[in-house]
A and B are shown apart, each in its own frame.
Chain A
Amino acid sequence: MAEMRDRYDALVIGGGIAGMQAALDLGEQGFEVLLVERTPSIGGVMVGLNKVFPTLDCSSCICTPRMAESAHHPRIRLQTYTEVRSVEPVGTGFSVNLECKPRYLHEDTCIGCDECELACPIEVPHEFDYGLGARRAIYIPHGNAIPQKAVLDLEHCVFCGKCEKVCPTHCIDFTAEAKHARVDVGAVIVATGLDILPMDRKPEYGGTLPNVMSPLAMERIQSSNGPYGRVLRPADGKIPRSIAYIQCAGSRDRSIGVPYCSRVCCMYALKQALLLRHYIHDVDVALYYMDIRAFGKGYEQFYRRAVAEGVNVIKGKVARVTQTDNFDLILRVELLDEGGRVDEHRYDLVVLSQGLIAAWHPDGVIDIEDADDGFIHTPEIKLNPSFTTMPGVFVAGVAAGPKDIPDAIVEAGEAAMAAANYLKRYRWRSSKPAVAVA
């Protein structure tokens, strides 16, 4: 990995698949890139997914080579666990203020051996498993994390000092503090990715009940390195024999401020439903939908395959979800293909196909605008889809609006090309030396 300097051609904010692709495309064109990620590892949402549609390729198998390439590229400086605090225009370029959060260890000597994590005595919900699994106060973010370095979560530290005692390289540094760095860049690409709508936004769907889960939690449960090692329901470890998906649970709904279609929910739900049919013998999987939107290449064929392999797609609008004494779930549903007949069905597990929302907003950091839907505003959507409201600042991936992985990658390439054109037009040149961050 390239060392930290005080001047780069481009800053890429966000180390998910779009940010990594944009950084790699710029790096391959000879530009010096600073790739900043706020969490302790790059990889974004994609590295936590089980498989991708419609090919059913292993998601992390596709994502981790990109992560390694980004981390080891000679013209990409990767800065994880770092927040971008401000981006101010200076001439045609930008002055960027970064806050590098402390991991409480020396990254250059941490060998990712996990000894500190094994010695730590407390378990807390793991963000990577959406709270279903556990991690310790000091931990390696996950098996595919890059960099494979531990991080100490001070909020949950019991201050026992065991991690320091067992570390074979003596890399633990309890005296570490946050560091601030200022760098100049010629262009910025915002690739800050997605979140899903909070589970409690529609209380009638029971999003806070233990067996009503988000699609990202289901991805982790289905993953071979997931929190349970197999598909079980969180309330009591039962192997679910009936599972329902509620489509448009957090999209196309003005009442919750998400009037748009999230574009990926139909496909991820069909993918998960099909895989559940593979993972659990004779499971009944029902998908309650308003419309199936299988618009991408090979998506319609995938939808037909899922139906052919036993996924039960039902045109119906779910009114509410309630829980029984043994944690089963009752869906009250209006069956649209049966003249609007209202019926109740019992399931072991329910997945809410929550819509996508922006994970980050530029307020107070960069003077670019959000659109009405909360994603970054792209005023030239037809001809320059990665342009924002500020020259020199570009956007890629779900930061600009809901999209699937192939579209995010294509858009990242477009943003990289637009940034390259901008840098060439204004003859921006990154200079060398000066180490700003140790």
Chain B
Amino acid sequence: MPEPTAAKADKPKRAIEVLRERHGGMSKELKDYFNEQQKIYKALRAALKNGPRTVPQLAKECGLPSPTVMWHLMALRRYGQVLDGPEENGYLRYTLPGA
């Protein structure tokens, strides 16, 4: 393992590192929230790979409360990662782009 060079050790901190230090980094609550959110997205994407789904269908498949599924699905939709599909029995079905 080579020793870090003096130039590398003295490298000025990036602005984001300064900001992170100034504000004490992410709080535990935010870390937990972020990690949970990533898990929910992973579960939703995995379920949607099997075809278009309604919110209640996703909730059942992922084992999540349907209000939680609805909010995260709409967040994915907001940023183009989920698309509206056709109506089925009074619910919309959602799909992954390109599916």
* Partner of B92 from A156, A160, A237 at Cβ < 8 Å: A237
Encoded as 1 (CB less than 8 Å from any A CB) or 0, chain B from 35 to 68 comes to: 0010000000000000000111001000000110
Contact assessment for B15 and A174 in the assembled complex, using a CB-CB cutoff below 8 Å: yes
Q: Given the known A-B contacts A158-B34, A159-B19, A159-B20, are A235 and B67 also in contact in the complex, defined by CB atoms under 8 Å?
A: yes
Contact assessment for A236 and B70 in the assembled complex, using a CB-CB cutoff below 8 Å: yes
Q: What residues of chain B lie closer than 8 Å to A161, measured between beta carbons?
A: 14-16
Q: From A126, which residue of chain B is reached at the shortest CB distance? A: B78
Q: From B80, which residue of chain A is reached at the shortest CB distance? A: A118
Q: What residues of chain A lie closer than 8 Å to B84, measured between beta carbons?
A: 229
Interface size on B, residues (CB 8 A): 32
* Partner of A239 from B34, B59, B91 at Cβ < 8 Å: B91
* Partner of A122 from B14, B34, B74, B90 at Cβ < 8 Å: B34
* Partner of B37 from A122, A174, A227, A238 at Cβ < 8 Å: A122
Q: What residues of chain B lie closer than 8 Å to A232, measured between beta carbons?
A: 70, 92
A104 CA to B22 CA, complexed, in Å: 14
Q: What residues of chain B lie closer than 8 Å to A125, measured between beta carbons?
A: 71
A362 on the interface (CB 8 Å rule)?
Answer: no
Q: Which of A121, A122, A210, A237 has the most CB of B within 10 A?
A: A237
* Partner of A235 from B70, B73, B78, B92 at Cβ < 8 Å: B70
Q: Separation in Å of the A413 CB from the closest CB of chain B?
A: 38
Identify which of residues 72-90 in chain B touch chain A, using a CB-to-CB cut-off of 8 Å: 72-75, 77-79, 84, 87, 90
A102 CA to B35 CA, complexed, in Å: 27
B28 on the interface (CB 8 Å rule)?
Answer: no
A107 on the interface (CB 8 Å rule)?
Answer: no
B99 on the interface (CB 8 Å rule)?
Answer: no
Contact assessment for B70 and A134 in the assembled complex, using a CB-CB cutoff below 8 Å: no
A259 CA to B14 CA, complexed, in Å: 56
Q: Given the known A-B contacts A174-B16, A174-B19, A210-B67, are A241 and B90 also in contact in the complex, defined by CB atoms under 8 Å?
A: yes
Q: Given the known A-B contacts A122-B37, A237-B91, are A175 and B66 also in contact in the complex, defined by CB atoms under 8 Å?
A: no
Q: From A117, which residue of chain B is reached at the shortest CB distance? A: B79
Contact assessment for A234 and B70 in the assembled complex, using a CB-CB cutoff below 8 Å: yes
Q: Separation in Å of the A140 CB from the closest CB of chain B?
A: 12
Q: What residues of chain A lie closer than 8 Å to B54, measured between beta carbons?
A: 237
A164 CA to B17 CA, complexed, in Å: 12
Contact assessment for B18 and A175 in the assembled complex, using a CB-CB cutoff below 8 Å: yes
* Partner of B55 from A104, A134, A237 at Cβ < 8 Å: A237
A228 CA to B55 CA, complexed, in Å: 13
Q: Separation in Å of the B44 CB from the closest CB of chain A?
A: 12
Contact assessment for A234 and B26 in the assembled complex, using a CB-CB cutoff below 8 Å: no
Contact assessment for B30 and A239 in the assembled complex, using a CB-CB cutoff below 8 Å: no
Interface size on A, residues (CB 8 A): 36
Q: From B21, which residue of chain A is reached at the shortest CB distance? A: A159
Q: What residues of chain B lie closer than 8 Å to A157, measured between beta carbons?
A: 19, 26
Q: Separation in Å of the A222 CB from the closest CB of chain B?
A: 15
Q: What residues of chain B lie closer than 8 Å to A81, measured between beta carbons?
A: none
A327 CA to B16 CA, complexed, in Å: 44
Q: Which of B18, B25, B30, B74 has the most CB of A within 10 A?
A: B74
Q: From A326, which residue of chain B is reached at the shortest CB distance? A: B56
A133 on the interface (CB 8 Å rule)?
Answer: yes
B23 on the interface (CB 8 Å rule)?
Answer: yes
A262 CA to B70 CA, complexed, in Å: 32
A159 CA to B79 CA, complexed, in Å: 20
A309 on the interface (CB 8 Å rule)?
Answer: no
Contact assessment for B15 and A175 in the assembled complex, using a CB-CB cutoff below 8 Å: yes
Q: What residues of chain B lie closer than 8 Å to A155, measured between beta carbons?
A: 30
Q: Given the known A-B contacts A227-B74, A237-B54, A241-B90, are A154 and B23 also in contact in the complex, defined by CB atoms under 8 Å?
A: yes
Q: Separation in Å of the B51 CB from the closest CB of chain A?
A: 17
Q: What residues of chain B lie closer than 8 Å to A88, measured between beta carbons?
A: none
Q: From B19, which residue of chain A is reached at the shortest CB distance? A: A174
A132 on the interface (CB 8 Å rule)?
Answer: yes
A123 CA to B13 CA, complexed, in Å: 27
Q: What residues of chain A lie closer than 8 Å to B92, measured between beta carbons?
A: 230, 232, 237, 239
Extra 5 A-B pairs, beta carbons < 8 Å, given A133-B78, A156-B30, A236-B66: A121-B34, A123-B78, A210-B67, A232-B70, A239-B91
- Identify 19 residue pairs between A and B in the complex whose beta-carbon atoms are under 8 Å apart, listed by A's number: A123-B75, A132-B71, A132-B74, A134-B79, A159-B20, A159-B26, A227-B78, A232-B92, A234-B70, A234-B71, A236-B56, A236-B59, A236-B66, A236-B70, A237-B55, A237-B70, A239-B90, A241-B90, A327-B66
Ranked nearest first, the 5 interchain pairs of A and B with the lowest CB-CB distance are A134-B75, A161-B16, A237-B55, A174-B15, A174-B19
Residue ranges of B at the interface with A (Cβ–Cβ < 8 Å):
14-16, 18-20, 23, 25-26, 30, 34, 37, 54-56, 59, 66-67, 70-75, 77-79, 84, 87, 90-92
Residue ranges of A at the interface with B (Cβ–Cβ < 8 Å):
104, 118, 121-123, 125, 132-134, 154-161, 164, 172-175, 210, 227-230, 232, 234-239, 241, 327
